[in-house]
Amino acid sequence: MQQKILLVDDREDNLLSMEAILEPDGYQFVRANSGRHALKILLTEFDFALILMDVKMPNLSGFETAALIYEREKLRHIPIIFITANNYGEENIFKGYRTGAVDYIYKPINPELLRAKVGVFIDLYQKNRRLLIQEQKLKAINKSLENEISERKASEEKVRQLNNQLLGNITLLESANRDLDRFAFMASHDLQEPLRKIRTFSDLLSSKYKDSLDEDAGSYIVRIQSAAARMQALIKDILAFSKLTGEKDNFEFTDLNILLEEALADLEVTIREKSAHISVAEPLPALEVNPGLIRPLFFNLISNALKYSKKEVAPLISIRYELSGVQLASNRENITKYCRIYIEDNGIGFDQVYAEQVFEMFRRLHVSSAFEGTGIGLALCKKIVEKHHGSITAHSKANEGTTFIINLPVYQPIKVEA
């Protein structure tokens, strides 16, 4: 970039002389024929690398002009070399330095000396400009970092507030869930007594007065007994679901085959009535589970397969498993092994779009008149599996059967107390 030099002298020949000496070095010159003229130029132009100024000028001397120049903050970085024909003595020289001058050149001007001194100050000016630009860049970077830190602090504070709000919401939700579970348990428990009386007295009416009642009355009593039985089953399932929340994590290493056999024994009558065939590809492994929960898990899933079997087709239920992950028995904390159990049937199935809905409370895909049930069984299965830190999914197709896939960890995660 071409450097600008301001030449200030009241004599035109001196201005031309300085230009002629310095022109070979490629500088750009701006002339001022008085101190006032120089000040006027400096009102709008600040990018001078150097000012060469005569000391003795009419109206405003070089010293007075320099003092006025350096009163402005924007102009204090411009070095001034005084050009003088007189040796003013030390006092006047100090006066020039006090006003901000950096050097003196005496007339008649030595061309080589002038070019050398101007070259030195131009070089210093360029280095200062580079330092100034670097400083401005560093300031901009620091400002950007400050803004980033400020934004990050604001974001962290916002995240902290959201976390606190979330923790508060979780606490409220957990409290509401506990209250809801207690209400469901108490309500279901309190409903059983009047329900037992309804069933008892309807049975008495049916047995004692069946010969005295007409056909309509007998039909009404049968409907009362059927509705009471369904309600009792519903209350029983709601109680079982509510108890899960308060169920302690009593996990123990258990042979799943024993729990499966117990569930099949409870379903023996239904299995025989439907001529169902249940096959287990190979004995199930032993896992760390709560036996009191896994037993009803097997019972509900196999009962569901028997219930939703096709008419005139014997139910076929296949049970198999596979292991995933690597077992490191010597270091329990590093075990990531899971057992995946498949329970597959040849029943009526359902559209896969309902695969998640079947695990919702009271969700039934078929009319209650066609299939008995409360709509809680699969929701209970999901809650049992989640309590074991596992998952359950369903894959099905209408009229082609259903496969329930249960993922259970071989070992339960170790709890770390706060």
Q: Give the domain CATH number at 272.
A: 3.30.565.10
330 has a pLDDT exceeding 60: no
pLDDT digits (tens, 9 = 90+) for 155-167: 888 888 889 888 8
Instruction: Report yes or no on 151 lying in a domain.
Output: no
pLDDT digits (tens, 9 = 90+) for 254-303: 999 999 999 899 889 889 998 999 999 889 999 998 888 888 899 989 99
Give residues with Cβ within 8 angstroms of 93, minimum separation 6: 104
Cα 193 → chain centroid: 50
Instruction: Report yes or no on 183 lying in a domain.
Output: no
**pLDDT at residue 52 in the model:** 92
Instruction: Report yes or no on 209 lying in a domain.
Output: no
310 has a pLDDT exceeding 50: yes
Q: Of 109, 138, 155, which marks where a domain is finished? A: 109
Q: Of 59, 79, 109, which marks where a domain is finished? A: 109
Instruction: Report yes or no on 116 lying in a domain.
Output: no
**pLDDT at residue 366 in the model:** 54
Kindly tell me the burial class for residue 295, based on how many C-beta atoms sit within 10 Å of its own C-beta (0-12, 13-18, 19 or more): buried
Per-residue pLDDT, averaged over 142-147, amounts to: 88
Mean pLDDT, the chain, whole residue set: 81
Per-residue pLDDT, averaged over 297-319, amounts to: 89
Written as six digits, the tokens of 84 are 């003088």
Q: Of 70, 89, 109, which marks where a domain is finished? A: 109
- According to DSSP, residue 355 is labeled T
Q: In this predicted structure, which of 4-8, 20-24, 376-380, 412-416 has the lowest mean pLDDT?
A: 412-416
Instruction: Report yes or no on 233 lying in a domain.
Output: no
333 has a pLDDT exceeding 70: no
> 98 lies in which domain range?
4-109
Contacts by residues 182-188 (CB-CB < 8 Å, ≥ 24 positions apart): 182/242, 184/238, 184/239, 184/241, 184/242, 185/239, 185/242, 185/243, 188/235, 188/238, 188/239, 188/242
Instruction: Report yes or no on 140 lying in a domain.
Output: no
Helix locations, 247-376, DSSP H: 256-266, 268-273, 291-307
Amino acid code (one letter) for 312: E
Q: What is the total count of domains within the chain?
A: 2
Are 252 and 104 found together in one domain? no
Instruction: Report yes or no on 96 lying in a domain.
Output: yes
**pLDDT at residue 277 in the model:** 92
Q: What is the CATH number of the domain that holds 47?
A: 3.40.50.2300
- Which of 282, 361, 369 shows the shortest CA–CA distance to 320? 282
Per-residue pLDDT, averaged over 191-209, amounts to: 76
Instruction: Report yes or no on 370 lying in a domain.
Output: yes
pLDDT digits (tens, 9 = 90+) for 53-64: 998 888 888 888
